[in-house]
Structure 1
Amino acid sequence: MKKQLVIGVICAGIVALSNSFAQNLVVNPSFEQTTTNCGNPFGEGYADLIDWDDTNSGNDTCTTPDLFSACNLLIGNMGPTHMPYSQLGYQYSHTGTRHAGFISHELGSEYREYVQGHTSAPLTAGQTYCVSFYVSLANMSLYATNNMGIRFTNSNYQHNACPGSSNSLINLPPQLNSTCVISDTNGWVRLQWDYTAAGGEQYFVIGNFFNNAGTNIANHTPASGGMALPMPFAYYFIDDVSITPNTCCYADIAPVDNMCVTDAAITLTATPPLGIACAPVPISGTWSGPGITNGATGAFDPAVAGPGVHTVNFLLSCGTTVSTTITVSPCAGLDVCLEANGDLTVSGGIAPYQWQSEVSTQDCSACIIGCTFPPGCATTSMVWTTYSSNATATPGTLPIQVVDNTGEIESIATLVGIPACTTIPCPPVNINATSQTNVLCNGGSTGALTVSASGGNGGPFTYVWNPGNLSGTTQTNLTATTYTITATGTDGCDGTATFTITQPVALSTTTSSVDASCGANNGTATVNASGGTGSYTYSWVPSGGTGATTTPVAAGVYTVTVTDGNSCTTTANVTVGTAGGPTLTISNQQNISCFGVNDGEATVSAAGGATPYTYLWAPSGETTATATGLSAGLNTITVTDNAGCSVSEQVTLTGPTQMVITGTVTDEDCGALNGNIAASVSGGTGPYAYAWTGTAAVTATISNLDDGTYTLTATDANGCSASSTFTVDQIGDLNVTAVPGSAVISEGASLQLTASGATTYVWTPTGGLSCTNCPNPVATPSGSTIYVVTGTDANGCSGTASVTITMNPVCNEVFVPTIFSPNSDNGNDLLCAFGNCFSQVDFAIYNRWGEKVFQTDDLQVCWDGMYKGKPVNAEAFVYKLSGTRINGEEVSLSGTIQVIR
């Protein structure tokens, strides 16, 4: 198809979006990765895309989609597949500098084109995926259609689409299909579906899967000022194909032009994608960010936001956040002054600034070959180039201009009349708290503070918080103290303010009790709380009471938890004694000797009440006056007299902490007996004694070790012990060398190899060697070979080295015929390039429009004179052959090929 169209538009604004989506499983989803990477002077086509395919099992030129790229030729603003100008219309890629395109309907036939991609991994059965892509109708299309569908398969789908245009139709049902007629030529329309996978799908095909009778074909008026003959088909651009493992949750934010602080407030708009019912999917959400004065409606006031580049977020009710940036400028112009040393300094506007000078550049986009053909195709123009990004810069060669971050420009054609710079005091920088949360509980770290700076010569500002040397506008997990914050603008002007995070008085308690009568439940336990915040709640264990006093209770120990209005808590124990019962005295307390050992001792003496007494220690369960198996911590002794009166007393015993052995191991160098273990012991009761297995050492550190396993047992002053095992490994290889490291020989030649540094040697592979276990074999390989020698010394240490032998073949001359006749008479029907010894080669043929009609990286593949399933006309074509031979020679050929019929 011939594509000729020139359309001029002005890009009013660009909005950056960031979405909290799951990972996109589509490989190369935006068509940005190609094999040429803009390195081919003739441009790049769909066949150059990485990880994208068509669906034709025959000649690649049948039903092949197109790649629109900024790298493609732009001749007189009418490049066939240039981005944004092309024969089919003017359209910027949705993202990046490339997008694809295909035909969904052609007048008078069932001709179709499809794009086929794949995911990085098969889809999981039962998992719901959000499937989406963006489409835009080409300006010069005579028609628009519905049936934009996607069909999933477990393997690459191919069918024979040639010959005949009707064979290109894939008459199979797609799992997902849009019944909407897409006629938007200015913007991109997002189509999306929720898809539940059957399992195993890894390939997908996008296009129109219905014949003309099943397709809604609508007339479309082509854009004016383009080609004389509009294209007789429905042609769609496609970009940003996405498959993510989640249900769809998405919106686009309508672009916003740069604003002045004095502009009126605007209402931001979130645009939903097109749903299955051909109507926008209903969305709801909340707006937030600088300048947002109504989170429900999206009202944005530039005066509230202030000068700067602001990020505004829209949180959809389904959980996704989309963002846009809005630039607000003071719109007061830029001020430039002349420094004493001749430099220029800019102020006002929004930093950073860019100083730019005019440089001449050669535009070769209208040329077919280099910058010389056709003659006069190259033009020279002046463009602005940034040479400094500082506020102060040397003038350079006039004229120059300075641009601030909002795009405001100050042009300078002469230095005459520019005022001299004077030292201007910094305007005040004010810091205010926009939100503050104090600490909830005494000693906690639940404070938070957000600040915002204004004034000076404008932001953005950097912030330093002390104590803590923190940065940023917001801090969380703060403790109670006074924080000093310094905000500094890009011009060096700063301001300081202090903010105090407070905390409530610590929650504390006092307790009292009334003894219970012997054997009766008539005692009382009381707690008095103070401090904290608000009112208190109480929880008593084991009585279950919920007031400040729990009664009636029996004699015993009661634990109360007090909670204040901020959910801060404190606990206290209250002992209710027995009136008339025995009294207890604790003696002979002995603490625990070793961690985890229950060998503590204590003796209780009882007096009063009715003898004899019974004893019960908890948790040990001992029943004598003297207990010898007590554990570290709280132990309770309960004494009951002969009248049934019980009295309890608590005994707290301590014990050493757990003994822990740590250490650092230094591995042994091969055969050197230089291993080392440096151990240390903590816990228990010092000093420690040390004993090692595998050595007689009695110190914490042992040296001169062979590789192996060593166990250290440490014993403390109480006879408590702990053990730990360390492993010393053997490291390092024997330094074996082999010469020559690499060599190039002719076919049939021999080469002397020599190895050193070991005692014994083994060479692999064995083919072509005069010996395989000697240090110096003679190699006569049959082809390029890498020989590896393994050497071993008397200590059993080994190492390897290698020799790479490259065998040079004889390379013949590269030849491309200049004429052939693909008329199916079995004579000269194919055009082949001839040559050998290539490690990499690219052979491409272009028509006079700059379209790539054939390409191969294998010179065994020849051109049959077909393009897109049809014979090419008898005319001249341009070829380009480039490659690298195995001897390093670079080959680059170009010329013409005449097709005759």
Structure 2
Amino acid sequence: MTIELGADPVTITATATDAAGRSTSVTFTNNGVLTIAPAGEVSMVLGAEQKFTASGGQEPYTWQAVGGDLDVQTGKEVTYKAPEAAGVYHLTVTDANGDYASVTLKVGEPLRITPHSARIMRGETAQFQVVSGAAPFRWEAEYGSLSSVTGDKVTYTPEEHLGLYPIYVYDSAGSVVKVTVEVSEGLVVTPATATVETGKTEELIVSGGTGSYTWSALRGEVTPLTGDKVTYTAPEALGDGNDEVTVRDSAGNQAKVSISVVASVQALNELSITPKEVTLVPGESQTFVAQNVKDPALLKWSVTGGDITSEGVYTAPESSGTYTVTAIDLANGRQATAKVTVKAELMLTPTVATLDTREARDFTVSGGVAPYTWKIIGEGYLSSTTGDSVTFTASSKTGPVKLMVMDNEGVSVSAEITVVGAMKVSPASVTLAPGSTQKFSVSGGSGTYTWT
């Protein structure tokens, strides 16, 4: 006898009876086909959590996620946490018999609409578009009309009355965003607010007002600077994430556009190092941190000068210069670099000297950033005006002289030189009678005089 089992769980009892009327029975349970609930294709937002349950097959169950994280690896129920990067991922459960079932996970970015709001004049329409979220999308407007209640792009026509009109957008992950349309008179810019990725553009249009229009931006760029239609380019650096565009008409009226500058998806996934640039003195340490590294154990550091540990702690070398710190993600070959400038303190030796007229003395500079430039303030001569060592020769004139040296970044130090004449006693010789007196004077030399 052959019993064909179905996909659903069931308990079956089979009884066999011979010609003499004797019988025997056997009972067994069919657990059914291994399944996951929810099944098929599941849409999730970035970083969201979802419970999944296994049934059928033969316990115990083992779970594996390709992308994202699980709270446990075994059991009937697990909680899956979606990654922060948009994409298609997979969750698989395997039973004791080696059978498996899987579900596809579509992870998207948070629901975002552009523009956040719009200002239009009476009789005009406003356009809105979904930037990201889990499709399909549904639109609702309490007043006015929409060109469609589904899709990622709609045109809204408000009522004739001036005022503020709300529109609601829903995605399949349950997220909801409210955008608004303001119907007004006067100088109006569309969109009134916008979300723009670093380095990307957004078209801005102004209407109403009087005469010609002039545009300006706090951080980004606007081209052209005049006209009713311009292109705004967001800055490459994220900064505090805010920017503002102002348009003025010839009568002095103005309107502002609030810009939210966000990092691009590519930038969020790129390997990067913090800080990007740093200045240190010889022997000083700095900790560098790599972002967007999936497995820190597969991160390798290298430097062109100095030393760095596997934890990213860098120690500057004793010599001044510019060096590069490189982080390499061995999991995918991505690289990121940071710049280190090492500056030793600019030092001059000696800093004080006393010389006779025509006497020479060597002076040496170290530290700072080469090349070095020398100059004299006062009388004297230099063997060279460049280099890390020069010879100063005093002139025939006595008095103070300043010797100054400047490095390539404009930092300077100086030495104070005192030039003195040869020591002379006047009169140099004299003949005296016993008991007579003579006055002597001294010049030249330096400091106080002692007579014997």
Q: With structure 1 as the length reference, what TM-score do the two structures score? A: 0.18
Q: With structure 2 as the length reference, what TM-score do the two structures score? A: 0.32
Per residue, is there more strand in 1 or in 2?
2
